[in-house]
Chains A and B, each alone.
Chain A
Amino acid sequence: MAKSHISMTVNGKKVEELVEPRTLLIHFLREQLQLTGPHIGCETSHCGACTVDLDGKSVKSCTVFAVQANGADIRTIEGMAAADGTLHALQEAFREMHGLQCGFCTPGMITRAYRLLQENKNPTEDEIRVGISGNLCRCTGYQNIVKAIQYAAAKMSGVPFQEAAE
């Protein structure tokens, strides 16, 4: 099958590649661009480990063809920290609040939480839980992920983080 020429911006860098139309975005990112942060979990659009930010939307990159993303602006977990290595508020928050254990779901959780906080700067706990309902974590029980997102929301808004009373 003839390959298609696609170009897009990934983590601020222009990329141009040839892909087979059937190449899924997750395989394109991981295998052609060597961006192995987005993970392949369930491969059935349930788990959210492959979540990336695409033109201001959180998408499951296992359920999008790379050709559909032609011309898009994509951000993966690799594009979250500053160029000098300073962690993004969400990355720092997941570390500080123990928002990860095995770490497999973390890239998807953080890229999803990033978009959630772009749309809602000060979400309630319920809004966070609904907002990450497309991301599965089998370790944490979600409690510390929710806390980490609250921590990041506070930090990004420049207010001190106050942990809710147990």
Chain B
Amino acid sequence: MIPGAFAYHRPTSVKEAVSLLGNLGDDARALAGGHSLIPMMKLRLASPAHLVDLAGVADLMGIREDGRDVVIGVMTTQHEVIASEPLAKKIPILRETSLLIADPQVRYVGTIGGNVANGDPGNDMPAVMICLNATYHVTGKSGDRRIAAREFYQGAYFTALEPGEIVTAIRVPAPAAGHGYAYEKLKRKVGDYATAAAAVVLTMTGGKVASCSIGLTNVAETPLWAEEAGKILIGSALDAATVKKAVAAAEAITSPASDGRGPAAYRTKMAGVMLTRALARAKERASA
């Protein structure tokens, strides 16, 4: 499996990268870790004439704290997400999710930016970013803008990015101290995409849910924010009846494909099961 020929570019600044992408147009693709794009190129499902490798752009790397937010450079690898102390402390669901992505070798190279920006509904980070209400910093030829993760995904491999734009960083507001969280993913084997997965971040006060946000992976063309399901749970003690109602609301917004991971009805049901488990685990972890 040999990819089609392409010209290789290695810019050293964001400015240079977006200017290359802007000038080269539709024939160019940005290369992050390459663990989605290179397999596609080997299968000739993608044949860009130009690859703009972002690995030499220092400004796209690193994790920094900015007040209550954590700002993660797009070229941060999953391995670095897992090893990050500030993330483990402030937003531990990211580490839990990264550990469920692919395998150790892929995590050394695969980046969080590639994972969120590619628009593959099978990727795990988008639903987690939607759950956390993250914002993507975007730069293009005409300047910088910010796009909410909840507005970013428009279809499979179709995002709010304009041609020539790249995501440069992911700004994640840290959930309140003492929050509960969980990412539950059903997969057939190590390295597989989710049959269905659910991300939950919640806070509890006096034994009752004070806030709850839910994201779902790989059960529609885009990652899903189960807003209604989260609302149903607020004020409850996560009793079985209310959880059941919320799970039904979450299942109702799914529209998975029937594929090797199972028929659509099964995958919808599994999204519900993952959500039930994630809620239980998030509750255990939350300080009341």
Using a CB–CB cutoff of 8 Å, the interface residues on chain A facing chain B are 1-2, 4, 20-22, 24, 27, 43-46, 48, 51, 57-60, 63-65, 67-68, 112, 116, 130-134
A4 contacts which of B8, B103, B105, B190 (Cβ < 8 Å)?
Answer: B8
A-B contact count (CB 8 A): 83
Say whether B38 contacts A65, CB under 8 Å: yes
Once the chains are docked, how many angstroms separate the CA of A68 from the CA of B42?
16
Q: Within 8 Å CB of B1, what residues of A? A: 43-44
Q: Within 8 Å CB of B2, what residues of A? A: 22, 24, 27
Say whether A134 contacts B38, CB under 8 Å: no
- How far, in Å, is A117 (CB) from chain B's closest CB? 13
Q: Within 8 Å CB of A65, what residues of B? A: 8, 34, 38
Say whether B8 contacts A21, CB under 8 Å: yes
Q: Within 8 Å CB of B6, what residues of A? A: 1, 21-22
Per the 8 Å Cβ criterion, residues 77-124 of B in contact with A are 79, 102-106, 108-109
- How far, in Å, is A31 (CB) from chain B's closest CB? 11
Q: Within 8 Å CB of A132, what residues of B? A: 104
Q: Within 8 Å CB of A130, what residues of B? A: 104
Classify the secondary structure of B's interface with A: mixed
Once the chains are docked, how many angstroms separate the CA of A22 from the CA of B2?
7
User: Chain B: interface residue count, which band?
Assistant: 20 to 34
Q: Which residue of B lies closest to A21 (CB)?
A: B8
Say whether B7 contacts A1, CB under 8 Å: yes
Extra A-B contacts (19), CB below 8 Å, given A1-B7, A48-B105? A1-B6, A20-B5, A21-B6, A22-B6, A24-B38, A44-B1, A45-B105, A51-B105, A59-B108, A60-B106, A63-B34, A63-B106, A65-B38, A68-B34, A68-B53, A133-B103, A133-B104, A134-B102, A134-B191
Interface flag for B39 (CB, 8 Å): yes
Interface flag for B22 (CB, 8 Å): no
Interface flag for B249 (CB, 8 Å): no
Say whether B34 contacts A64, CB under 8 Å: yes
Q: Within 8 Å CB of A68, what residues of B? A: 31, 34, 53, 55
Q: Within 8 Å CB of A59, what residues of B? A: 105, 108-109
